[in-house]
Structure 1
Amino acid sequence: MKRLLIVAHSPSINTRALSEAVQRGAEHEDIESVTCIVKTPFDAGPTDIIDCDGIVLGTTENLGTMSGALKDFFDRSYYGVLEEKQGLPCALYIRAGHDGTGTRRAVESIVTGLRWRWVQDPLIFRGEWQEAFISQAEELGMTLAAGLDNGLF
């Protein structure tokens, strides 16, 4: 069994809905050999990363950058996984009230340092809440889990 780790900062009803949608997509009935683990950035750490085969990161845009919770996760995990998890397939979604570019840049900088491998461009949910965000988040989870399931990542 492969393990997909979802580390999502979800401080609101809408951001929880996004995290749940990613999980729902990752646990699609056609995906047979992937286990999905969902944790908050405060509950996840280096051991979770070492034990996973792929990771989805979810964050809010806070003051033009990633949430403090996700930054804390990276602060606690970075050096503990740097040499062991190079090439880890990863994806990112951002719930941005504005444009999300500062948040994207900040996370991409850390992921580049970790030498993780993007499986798709970061997904940025910009502006006012839209119900379409849910299906896009679900597709993100399904894409990463299906890639792991089929040996593509």
Structure 2
Amino acid sequence: MARLLVIHHTPSPDTHAMLHSVCDGATAAADELGGDLEVVLRPALAAVVPDVLDADGYLLGTPANFGYMSGALKHFFDTVYYPCLDATRGRPWGLWVHGNNEVDGAALAVQRIVTGLGWSAVRPPVLVVGSPTVDASERLWELGAVTTAAVLESCS
């Protein structure tokens, strides 16, 4: 069974809604593709090295706090980076970021770390400023679906 790990910091109603859109896309794609996929949700402060090593792909979600990723997601990376560095290279991943104004700095910070890990982006991050619109929710759903397809393909 393939495993998609969703690492998130979703303290607000908007980020929580975004999490649900991404997960809905992931599970719908697995059903449509007939893939055997487990979607594992982990808050960023609870995710540990075995979670990352046991996963075949990753979805990351964070608010933009003062132009940077959340402290919770940064803590996650600080915890897993070196233990997972060589073992997870090439695995597919996706990112969504929510902010009330600027989100680019947070996305760039995550992308720099993940580049070091050697993960393979399935598409550009979904960046949402303000409350998610219908269009943003659709892009989040697609992010979940495309990441699922990449995970299932990498496991076949």
TM-score tier by shorter-chain length is: over 0.9
1:149 is displaced (CA, Å) by: 2.4
**2:12 counterpart residue number:** 12
CA contact (8 A) 2:2 2:155 kept: no
| 1:147 Cα offset (Å) | 2.3
Match of 2:40 among 16, 37, 46: 37
**Of residues 98, 104, 124 in structure 2, which corresponds to 1:121?**
124
Deviations 1:119-142 (A, max 9, x none): 111111124442332222111111
Q: TM-score, normalised by structure 2?
A: 0.91
Residue of structure 2 in register with 1:83 after alignment: 86
The structure with the largest helix share of the pair is 2
Distance 1:129 1:141, change over 3 A: closer
In the aligned structure 2, how far is the partner of 1:3 from the partner of 1:120? 19
Task: Write the letter of the residue equivalent to 2:96.
Answer: Y
Matched, 1:67 2:70: yes
> Which AA in structure 2 matches 1:22?
V
RMSD: 1.6
Runs of 5+ consecutive residues of structure 2 not aligned to the other structure? none
Mind listing any 5+ residue stretches in structure 1 that lack a counterpart?
none
| Percent sequence identity over aligned pairs | 35
Q: Does the residue aligned with 2:15 lie in a helix, a strand or coil?
A: helix
Match of 1:134 in 2: 137
Matches of 1:127 and 1:7, distance apart in 2: 21
